[in-house]
A and B are shown apart, each in its own frame.
Chain A
Amino acid sequence: MLLSVWPLRHKLSQCNWCLGLVYREKNVHFTHFVNEMNAGCVKRSAIKCKFFLVITVRKSCNWAKPEESAEVKTVVVQHVNIQGLGRTKEDLLGYEISDVFHAKNLIDVMKKAHVARQRLLRLGIFKDVEVLIDTSEGADALPNGLDVTFEVTEVKRLTGSYNTMVGNNEGSMVLGLKLPNMFGRAEKLTFQFSYGTKETSYGLSFFKPQPGHFERNLTLNMYKVTGQFPWSSLKETDRGMSAELNFPLGMTNHTLKWEGVWRELGCLARSASFAVREESGHSLKSALSHTVSIDSRNSAIFPSRGALLRINQELAGYTGGDASFLKEDFELQLNRRLFWDSVLSASLWGGMLYPIGGQPTCIADRFYLGGPTSVRGFGMYSIGPQSEGDYLGGEAYWAGGLHLYTPLPFRPGKGGFGDLFRTHFFLNAGNLCNLNYGEGPRAHLQKLAECIRWSYGAGIVLRLGNIARLELNYCVPMGVQSGDR
């Protein structure tokens, strides 16, 4: 058609890929454009438009010289400006936008500008980023020079939120305060306070990314949380602090964490069993942990392909504190798309807790199994060793699941609401027990392999946004041992 200049009222933010969207764009203004990208002409139009891009369409035109399509004409990006900075320090942003200088032609400039915009947005310090590409001006302007300007709007210095929550026979008021970009280099300070009829909890968190490498970051936390566990008739109050370092290494993501917690355990009711009563009291846990995870799934809630492997280790006792143990656990999930839009998902979890120094393990450190997230058909965390109806948890466990997700039969509401639902056939199995560490690995495997609890069934799953899922299942539990619920 034409070699045209399309001034667009839309921001670059709305195009996933500039060329594609613009092609669909209906409102098009044609300005006279002669067969060269003349600085003067373009500049005039640039003042009026928010965004501006030049494209060529495949069909030949009689205005433009075909050899001067935008893909091949070399340009030089002379200046990249960022406007609208307040408290953000410039050295932080230099890393994100530096790539734009290496663009060789106009399409490349647009691509790299888009990528830089995404990188600026992921820092979490800007509400909005707009891109403006213009020819360069001034004394040192080259004829094919371009200036790229990012117009940013910083987020407010302080944001707050206030919620009330009702649930579990308790009402509470939650107050949140956030200070994004506190010192100008994308640090974030968050404070949350929850005041309830039964319990009060609060947390303070400080997040600092490394300038230039946002994926490497440090988080410091201080918190007090309380929890009630009716399946064990236990209530736990944790006051602690932690320091966490995240960094990617090749394809994997590593987290190193030190955590110091003062744990206070108590009986939830006077009728708690004596085994749980014996665990009441105070203890101090100081633990170092390391997690490595490789996640190639395309979604966290309803992945249709990819795999997840996460291995976590925790060593407590060597940095102080009363609790002394080594804890290992892993999670593996594989997803594969099958015929007719259905997805087969297999997952396996396992873990082991090894007490060091001869003291018995604490109920707060042990593993629990059962419930709608692990072995369906059994009560929440109600599998394994128990005493008078209170579940004490175990030192070793494994659990596995095989799921088949299919779209709803007859696909009602296809393309819209119906896509959020899936039918779900599953087979879950698992075991939780205490190992006798004096025996060898063969005895351990044998102990884990006997008394397997398993269940199968079908149901409907609903995806809620990208954060949660709601399930309604019909399960048939099998292999129930005495004491399980």
Chain B
Amino acid sequence: MSLAADAFVSQLAAAEPWPENATLYQPLKEDQILLSDCASSLAVQAYLRMCGLPVEVVCRVNAEYMSPSGKIPFIHVGNQVVSELGPIVQFTKAKGHSLSDGLDDVQRAEMKAYMELVNNMLLTAELYVQWCDDATAAEISRPRYSSPYSWPLSNILAYQKQWEVRRKMNAIGWGGKTLEQVYEDVSQCCQALSQRLGTQPYFFNKQPTELDALVFGHLFTILTTRLTSSELAERIKSYSNLLSFCRRIEQSYFEDKKGVIVPLIKRSRRGHSSTNQEV
């Protein structure tokens, strides 16, 4: 969004408190949602839970097209619609809820840098594995993406999405990479994150920030989604502090009121992870 639009939205957002009926929209959990979308959605949900803001998750077949930017997830708060983690963080900040207020400028810049790293590496790797790897695309991504539609629309939309992602990969230079190289990149990214995390509970001090939410969203989804090959998950499992980090956030923020840990991911069929969450 442009600066002027940003300022305008902030003005509007600041006017009202967080309502009770805020909703988050994502594609259908059981049959439709793909790895990358699920990761982004989980990151936003984790962030909102960390802020203590209640939100209801609603699944819609056309969530991707409902979103103003075309990306999942988006939230509907009052009569405003905001999509993607970055704008949502700014939106909640305008309403007075923020996780990164306690950071100084250097730390904030570092946080932004790591968030960019996750977006450029992990998210892109997820998209690559889903759509550019022929086996995964044919077995998992295309059938799931097109499941709500009838023939021939299902084929048209699935191939359209695949071409779009492949074009984007070529544009950013990932078109020529092999799967092995992508796995290597993921390993390096995880190594950088692992080093930064060290033995701390969260990335910055003892309080979680949006970076924690983002990393949790991506790593947790990769760990708990079964793809055609479990190489991606294996690479992450080799960093034990990242594993315990994920488990810690799951226990802290995705627990229901009775103190029982709600199973976040059900490993049933290949390629899909379903989440049971209570607000």
Contact = CB atoms under 8 A, between A and B. Distances in A.
A284 B61 contact: no
B153 A284 contact: yes
Interface stretch (A31-39, A67-75, A275-283, A440-448): A275-283
A262 B156 contact: yes
A277 B153 contact: no
B76 A274 contact: yes
Contacts of A270: 68
Contact of A320 (B68, B79, B150): B150
Nearest to A262: B153
Interface of A: 262, 265-267, 270, 274, 277-278, 280-284, 320-322, 388
Given A277-B81, A284-B149, A266 B65 contact: yes
Contact of A281 (B62, B76, B152, B156): B62
Interface residues on B, range: 10 to 19
B76 A282 contact: no
B150 A281 contact: no
A322 B149 contact: yes
Contacts of A280: 62, 65-66
Interface in B95-152: 149-152
A266 B152 CA distance: 21
B14 interface: no
B7 interface: no
Contacts, number: 40
A281 to B, nearest CB: 3
Interface in B57-80: 60-62, 64-66, 68, 76, 79
26 contacts: A262-B153, A265-B65, A266-B65, A267-B68, A270-B68, A274-B76, A274-B81, A277-B66, A278-B60, A278-B62, A278-B66, A280-B65, A281-B61, A281-B62, A281-B65, A282-B65, A282-B149, A282-B157, A283-B149, A283-B153, A284-B150, A320-B150, A321-B150, A322-B150, A322-B153, A388-B79
Interface of B: 60-62, 64-66, 68, 76, 79, 81, 149-153, 156-157
A381 B211 CA distance: 48
B153 to A, nearest CB: 4
B98 to A, nearest CB: 25
Given A262-B153, A274-B76, A322-B153, A281 B66 contact: yes
Identify the interface centre among B60, B62, B76, B156: most chain A CB within 10 Å of its CB.
B62
A284 B150 CA distance: 7
A441 B66 CA distance: 36
List the 9 closest A-B pairs by CB distance, nearest first: A281-B62, A281-B65, A284-B153, A280-B65, A280-B66, A277-B66, A322-B150, A284-B150, A262-B153
A292 B156 CA distance: 35
A37 B106 CA distance: 115
Contacts of B60: 278
Contact of A282 (B68, B79, B81, B153): B153
B122 to A, nearest CB: 28
Contacts of B151: 320
A281 B66 CA distance: 7
Contacts of A282: 62, 65, 149, 153, 157
A270 B67 CA distance: 10
A265 B66 CA distance: 10
Contacts of A265: 65
A277 B25 CA distance: 12
Given A280-B62, A280-B66, A281-B62, A274 B150 contact: no
A320 B153 CA distance: 11
Contacts of B76: 274
A283 B152 CA distance: 11
A52 B152 CA distance: 63
Contacts of A281: 61-62, 64-66
A475 B79 CA distance: 36
B27 to A, nearest CB: 11
A265 B65 CA distance: 9
A319 to B, nearest CB: 11
A280 B66 CA distance: 6
A238 to B, nearest CB: 13
Contacts of A277: 66, 81
A178 B60 CA distance: 45
A283 B62 CA distance: 10
Contacts of A283: 149, 153
A284 B62 CA distance: 13
Identify the interface centre among A270, A278, A281, A321: most chain B CB within 10 Å of its CB.
A281
B55 to A, nearest CB: 16
Identify the interface centre among B66, B152, B157: most chain A CB within 10 Å of its CB.
B66
A233 to B, nearest CB: 13
A321 B151 CA distance: 7
A204 B128 CA distance: 38
Nearest to A320: B150
Contacts of A322: 149-150, 153
A278 B151 CA distance: 22
Nearest to A322: B150
Given A274-B81, A278-B60, A280-B62, 16 more contacts: A265-B65, A266-B65, A267-B68, A270-B68, A278-B62, A281-B61, A281-B65, A282-B149, A283-B149, A284-B150, A284-B153, A320-B150, A320-B151, A322-B149, A322-B150, A388-B79
A266 B157 CA distance: 16
Contacts of A284: 149-150, 152-153
A267 B67 CA distance: 10
Nearest to A317: B150
A171 B68 CA distance: 26
Nearest to B148: A322
Nearest to B80: A274
Contacts of B157: 282
Contacts of B65: 265-266, 280-282
Contacts of A267: 68
A420 to B, nearest CB: 48
A282 B154 CA distance: 10
